[in-house]
Chains A and B, each alone.
Chain A
């Protein structure tokens, strides 16, 4: 595991099928590269994205940059098999609902570590909570595997259909962030999340909006978040850096 997991501020999403996936992070220098098999990969490119992961993981891993693969919940077994190559730092699992799902994935990762000659137990697991079930069982989910190194708040406004409230936040947003934060801190995991405001969040958030979302999350206790675009890496790094 990394020296201090809370030093990983920016987790840059890179679509795994993007021809520039192996080079685009170089100048941007995110703390973590997250090769994506999920949201940013269209169905027609999914097979090619999986097939290219071996080379990408090795290349990015060789450059001493932490490299994760974000799997798709619905196809998580095949995605983990495609992702596990020497050089991988860990798996990002969006939307776990129950501890059993995490334990099952842990076993699959162990099997793949043996098969691919990776140190058994070395692969981390990052859990991004996105469902009511996931948040309700946050503590148990985060304890379901010793691999879990970070617990994050995913796209809750979209996945849980939480609209804006008059306080310029998403309904239940602050509560759910606190729930993830408490579980993460209690268990010594890195808390991941940003305080996105309605109107401009995720992939369409501008740099100033992103910097504010990160800075506010830092005040709440979070130490890093996913960056949907390369432009968000700098403001996220700034927002999560202590001043």
Chain B
């Protein structure tokens, strides 16, 4: 289900039965079948052959499926990655418009050959170097295919390229993250941006980190997150959904702004807060997001129910 709701995505390794067979039970919105960094070089060939069957394993709970391929092996990986049921291809270490054109052309050919609507699989250029960040606007206008932008630009590879310490008390990635996010926003491309939360521990598996991360993203207005640990999935799904308080406030704001508009006014007050066109717009978006989350959750619940019934007792 290629729903826009991707509150939390998690990498799974198709070569590890323990992960790929159980991932769906965790209730993630997105699972990323990885052929890249989580797969040892000697395992990559076997991993490729497992992608097609892994799609049906990972989406049993109603999750969307992305596949992350290898930058050096785009030609070899894509024939094993482009299948019905794949929503996005993640292209790591994208640095130029040519990188995207090359992948786009191969994907288009494979879509045609395999009876997938041409152009329906999205491309997700991962920006992991300064060169990729600087070229972001060219990248994002390179191909006639729906793109999502990694507003993150703040991972391990970017740290290596910039020569910075990853786990610092201040935002080392401020420039590339913001530059990439701005380009995406300027082009009306969905950006999966991040928010800097200080982490000097170097660990990414602490239970309370998920709730902290979700709260920071939610407050900033970011609806996407990656989980590095399965225990992060539920806190992020819940933390990034619209809350009942937000929904009821949004309904009040909309009613009040409608009243103001009918009276020829444009600014009012409600419970000590300003109601204006910006708050009205925010309220409409809250309701849209809440409806999208509800649709995704219902879809996941139905899929989960079916999958559990089909499971051998």
Contact = CB atoms under 8 A, between A and B. Distances in A.
Contacts of B52: none
A203 B186 contact: no
Interface stretch (B32-40, B97-105, B259-267): B259-267
Contacts of A164: 219-220
B183 A204 contact: no
Contact of B264 (A42, A155, A159, A203): A42
Interface residues of B, number: 33
B220 to A, nearest CB: 4
A166 B197 contact: yes
Q: Is the interface on chain A under 10, 10 to 19, 20 to 34, or 35 or more residues?
A: 20 to 34
Contacts of A176: 178, 182
A44 B220 contact: no
B221 A161 contact: yes
B186 A162 contact: no
Contacts of B196: 165-167
Contacts of B276: 39
Nearest to A97: B186
Nearest to A131: B186
B285 interface: yes
A136 interface: yes
Contacts of B171: 167
Interface in A56-102: none
B185 A43 contact: no
Interface in B125-183: 137, 171, 174-175, 178-179, 181-183
A40 interface: yes
Contacts of B278: 155, 158-159
Interface in B216-241: 216, 219-222
Interface of B: 137, 171, 174-175, 178-179, 181-183, 185-186, 193, 195-198, 216, 219-222, 261, 263-267, 274, 276, 278, 281-282, 285
Interface string A131-169: 111011100000000000000000100111111111100
A176 B178 CA distance: 8
A172 interface: yes
Contacts of B263: 44
Nearest to A132: B185
A132 B186 contact: yes
A171 interface: yes
A136 B186 contact: yes
A132 B182 contact: yes
Contacts of B137: 136
Nearest to A159: B278
Contact of B216 (A43, A166, A172): A166
A163 B246 CA distance: 14
Contact of A175 (B174, B222, B264, B285): B174
A45 B278 CA distance: 20
B274 A204 contact: yes
Contacts, number: 76
Interface in A214-230: none
A203 B274 CA distance: 9
Most buried by B among A131, A161, A172, A179: A172
B216 A44 contact: no
27 contacts: A42-B264, A42-B267, A45-B264, A131-B186, A135-B182, A135-B186, A136-B182, A136-B183, A136-B186, A161-B282, A163-B221, A165-B196, A165-B220, A166-B195, A166-B197, A167-B171, A171-B195, A171-B221, A172-B178, A172-B182, A175-B175, A175-B178, A175-B179, A175-B182, A176-B182, A179-B182, A203-B274
B249 to A, nearest CB: 15
Contact of A42 (B266, B281, B282): B266
A48 B262 CA distance: 18
A11 B11 CA distance: 51
Nearest to B178: A175
Nearest to A137: B186
A163 B278 CA distance: 13
A43 B264 CA distance: 6
Nearest to A164: B219
Contacts of B281: 161
Interface in A106-134: 131-133
A44 B33 CA distance: 56
A40 B197 CA distance: 37
Nearest to B263: A44
A171 B222 contact: yes
Contacts of A135: 182, 186
Contact of A165 (B179, B182, B219): B219
A43 to B, nearest CB: 5
B216 A165 contact: yes
B267 A133 contact: no
- Which has the most chain A C-beta neighbours within 10 Å: B195, B220, B265, B276? B220
A43 B266 contact: yes
A41 B31 CA distance: 49
